[in-house]
Structure 1
Amino acid sequence: MGKKKKQFAIIGLGRFGGSICKELYEMGHEVLAIDMNEDKVNAYAPYSTQTIHANAAEENVLKALGIRNFEYVIVAIGADIQTSILTTLFLKEMNIKNVWVKAQNHYHHKVLEKVGADRIIHPEKDMGVRVAQRLADEKILDYIELSEDYSVVELRATRKLHDKTILELDVRAKYGCTILAVNKEGKVEVAPNPETRIEENNCFVVLGRKRDIQRFEDEGISAAF
């Protein structure tokens, strides 16, 4: 059975909004793309279910578009902070359940919290953190920050882990971390069983407190060359 199609509205078709629009559409979801710039609207017409040239910061426009019918609305408006805030406010007043908004800075973030944005995104900051983590530690393949304390990290197994089972590693008891998945030559095992054996250069995904994951890296992964 295939994944259930969802309905998304993307407001703002800059680099961030445009990339989300294209990716969601290619995943088979229904995507309404909205922008004030007619050239951008035309450019993303092939990558969306429907495109609309409109000013989403006007409440009557949002209502006319039937925005209430969408499960998710992503406000990806660029540098115009006032328009971003007004659009978010109108969407929440219309009882849209999932309003995700791109924030330009800390002050923009604080106002978006006040008007009820369900999730606030800092694309440059988030990507900067992920790149910095990968640059600083060659064992890290990817990094996702869940909160100030917790993160999900994709790591590469060193020879210190070679031919050891999940049970033998006992990561949860020793370090307070959980191995969520193991990728062995492109074959991913989610929630691996205790007898799953890890080999050098396999990739695996770990969830835990940042300090515990760091301790696991330092003590459990680092190979003595």
Structure 2
Amino acid sequence: MKKEFVVIGLGRFGGSICKALAEQGMEVLAIDNNEDRVNEYAMIASHAVVGDTTDEMVLKSLGIRNFDHVIVAIGDNIQSSILTTLMLKELGVNNITVKAQNDYHEKVLRKIGADHVVHPERDMGRRIANNIVSNNVLDYLELSEEHSIVEIVASQKMDGNSIIDLDIRAKYGINIVAIKRGQDIIVSPQANEIIRTGDILIVIGADTDINRFERRIVE
């Protein structure tokens, strides 16, 4: 059964989400107060409408509470973002994701009940920085302020050793949750799994432990 989404705000962030959801065959209602943006997405989204989402009557007329997930991607007006989120909560929307411009904005959004808050520019900046700093780090996903999931390329130093030989969990406090090897993905690898040069290790743990592992084992 297809899920039904609403994307409010069709700037770069909201527009990219709208396109990605539509490409996956999801039902998407796209809303913006700019008619030109709405016209741009009229052939991409299932429905695209011009509307002021800080107006409760507009949201009610769209049957907003009947959708599975609403993404508030308003990027240039914090007040509109907060008021829209507040209206959505009061109307009983079950799942709300909101784009935050800064930490203060996030605090307010969480106070009024946003289910998920994202910082796309900040998070992408951190991912890029991690990729630049280390030749071994392919990708980076922040789970919290102190924990992450990281893709690390196994170096020649690790070649031929099993996970238990390297004693990664005990020494570094991190877990290898999967290994990418060519077209194959080994999920929850066994302790006796042999690591080969060029394997992509998907590890999870505290940032300090991951950095320590990378310095001592990978490089």
- TM-score, normalising length from structure 1? 0.91
1:38 and 2:35 are equivalent in the alignment: yes
Give secondary structure in 2 for the equivalent of 1:194. coil
**Cα distance in 1, alignment partners of residues 179 and 7 from structure 2:** 34
* Alignment of structure 1 residues 157-176 onto 2, 5 Å: 157-176=154-173
Partner of 1:145: 142
**Cα distance in 2, alignment partners of residues 219 and 48 from structure 1:** 49
1:209 and 2:206 are equivalent in the alignment: yes
Partner of 1:77: 74
Give secondary structure in 2 for the equivalent of 1:104. coil
Per the TM alignment, residue 113 of structure 1 is displaced from its structure 2 partner at its CA by 2.1
**Cα distance in 2, alignment partners of residues 33 and 23 from structure 1:** 12
**Cα distance in 2, alignment partners of residues 99 and 21 from structure 1:** 15
**Cα distance in 2, alignment partners of residues 216 and 162 from structure 1:** 15
Structure 1 alignment gaps of length 5 or more: none
Structure 2 alignment gaps of length 5 or more: none
Partner of 2:93: 96
Give secondary structure in 2 for the equivalent of 1:47. coil
Per the TM alignment, residue 177 of structure 1 is displaced from its structure 2 partner at its CA by 0.7
Per the TM alignment, residue 191 of structure 1 is displaced from its structure 2 partner at its CA by 1.7
1:6 and 2:11 are equivalent in the alignment: no
**Cα distance in 2, alignment partners of residues 173 and 107 from structure 1:** 38
Structure 1 residues 190 and 46: alpha-carbon distance in aligned structure 2, compared to 1, 3 A threshold: farther
1:220 and 2:217 are equivalent in the alignment: yes
1:16 and 2:42 are equivalent in the alignment: no
* Alignment of structure 1 residues 45-56 onto 2, 5 Å: 45-56=42-53
**Deviation per residue, 1:36-85 (Å, 9 max, x gap):** 11221121123222212211111111111111111211100121111111
Runs of 4+ in 1 over 6 A off after TM superposition: none
**Cα distance in 2, alignment partners of residues 63 and 193 from structure 1:** 53
Which amino acid in the other structure matches residue 48 of structure 2?
T
Partner of 2:56: 59
Which amino acid in the other structure matches residue 218 of structure 1?
R
Partner of 1:195: 192
**Deviation per residue, 1:64-112 (Å, 9 max, x gap):** 1111111211100121111111100001112222211111223322221
Per the TM alignment, residue 193 of structure 1 is displaced from its structure 2 partner at its CA by 2.6
Per the TM alignment, residue 175 of structure 1 is displaced from its structure 2 partner at its CA by 1.2
Give the number of aligned pairs. 219
**Cα distance in 2, alignment partners of residues 84 and 123 from structure 1:** 15
**Cα distance in 2, alignment partners of residues 63 and 163 from structure 1:** 62
Per the TM alignment, residue 6 of structure 1 is displaced from its structure 2 partner at its CA by 2.2
Give secondary structure in 1 for the equivalent of 2:150. strand
Structure 1 residues 110 and 133: alpha-carbon distance in aligned structure 2, compared to 1, 3 A threshold: same
Which amino acid in the other structure matches residue 58 of structure 2?
V
**Deviation per residue, 1:163-186 (Å, 9 max, x gap):** 222333332122111111111113
Cα RMSD, aligned residues only: 1.5
**Cα distance in 1, alignment partners of residues 178 and 41 from structure 2:** 35
